[in-house]
Amino acid sequence: MIFAPEHIAGHTTHARRGSIANAFRYGVDYVLIDPAVRSGPRLFSRNRFNLAAVHDRDHGGPRRAGQGAGWAHRVLETRGLPRAGYDRLLLLTQPRFMGYGFNPVSFWLALRRGELVAVIAEVNNTFGDRHSYLCANPGYAPIGPADRIEAAKIFHVSPFQKVAGGYTFGFLLAPDRIAITIAFRHGEEGLFATLAGPRRPLTSRSLLAAGFRRPAGALRTVALIHWQALKLWMKRAPFRPRPSPPEREVS
């Protein structure tokens, strides 16, 4: 069955824990697509300019030189999940708006008979680096809403957080809603982040509404990231310079 692209007009929240408090909640627009399907509404395109677009070069592999779904399939294969172990691969990401794109995190979702069995969280920082975290239960058992998947933090995301400690991921992929939680903990310090929203068909009308509701798309995302960084700097949060990115592409 062909998967019709979806629009997740939701919210992301971040709440810093520890000695310096900071929290925010912003509206975001994600799309959920089957990367193998090239069709969509008139104002959405794959690999070409449009009001909203998703390009293979933006995902899977190095920044600006991505290889799309082929990369995700190879990663899963090398980590013990062959193509026979799942029947659908979806990409949850913020599209480019008017040609500009930046994704703090996108998610490759591998499903078996409608059940989530693996997630590749593709994390980007504002310094041009990327690292991905593979999330799965032992033996690639289905990932339920109550499951929590641990991963050591090895990638520099924020200059106000150490590259230490670990993440706890949670995933809800319901027929009508998506909710993802990411908790970062390092001693008494950390961060709790969420991405959640209803699943709706992706239409030209919904994309136009998103453009009016949140103009500038990903450019707005970058501006908000720097605004929050300025607030932390003004609160005298310790600033840490960017270290070299990890040699491993996926952990």
Domain boundaries in the chain?
Answer: 6-234
pLDDT at position 225 is: 73
pLDDT at position 39 is: 85
- pLDDT tens-digit map of 88-102: 999 999 999 988 888
Q: Give the strand pairing for 189-198 and 177-186.
A: antiparallel
pLDDT at position 183 is: 94
pLDDT at position 98 is: 87
pLDDT at position 32 is: 98
- pLDDT tens-digit map of 37-46: 888 999 999 9
- Residue 131 tokens read as 């690292």
211: left (phi over 0), alpha (psi -120 to 50) or beta: alpha
* Residues constituting the chain: 251
pLDDT at position 125 is: 87
Q: Considering the entire predicted model, what is its pTM?
A: 0.93
| Low pLDDT (below 50) residues in the chain | none
pLDDT at position 101 is: 82
pLDDT at position 113 is: 94
Helix (H), strand (E), coil (C) string for 143-188: CCCCCCEEEECCCCCCCCCCCCCEEEEEEEEECCEEEEEEEEEECC
Q: Which contacts of 78-82 are long-range, i.e. CB under 8 A and separated by 24 or more positions?
A: 79/134, 79/136, 79/250, 80/140, 81/110, 81/117, 81/118, 81/136, 81/140
pLDDT at position 218 is: 67
pLDDT at position 243 is: 79
List the strands of the sheet with 52-54, edge to edge.
Answer: 44-46, 52-54, 96-97
pLDDT at position 232 is: 64
Contact indicator for 33, 91 with CB cutoff of 8 Å? yes
Residue 173: how many other CB atoms lie within 10 Å: 22
Residues 138, 139, 142, CA angle at the centre, nearest 5°? 80
Which residue, among 56, 7, 59, has the nearest Cα to 29 in the 3D structure?
A: 7
Kindly report the backbone phi and psi dihedral angles of residue 112, in degrees, each rounded to the nearest multiple of 5, phi listed first. Answer: -125, 115
Contact indicator for 147, 125 with CB cutoff of 8 Å? no
The helix or strand, by DSSP H or E, that contains position 227, with its residue range, turns out to be helix 218-234
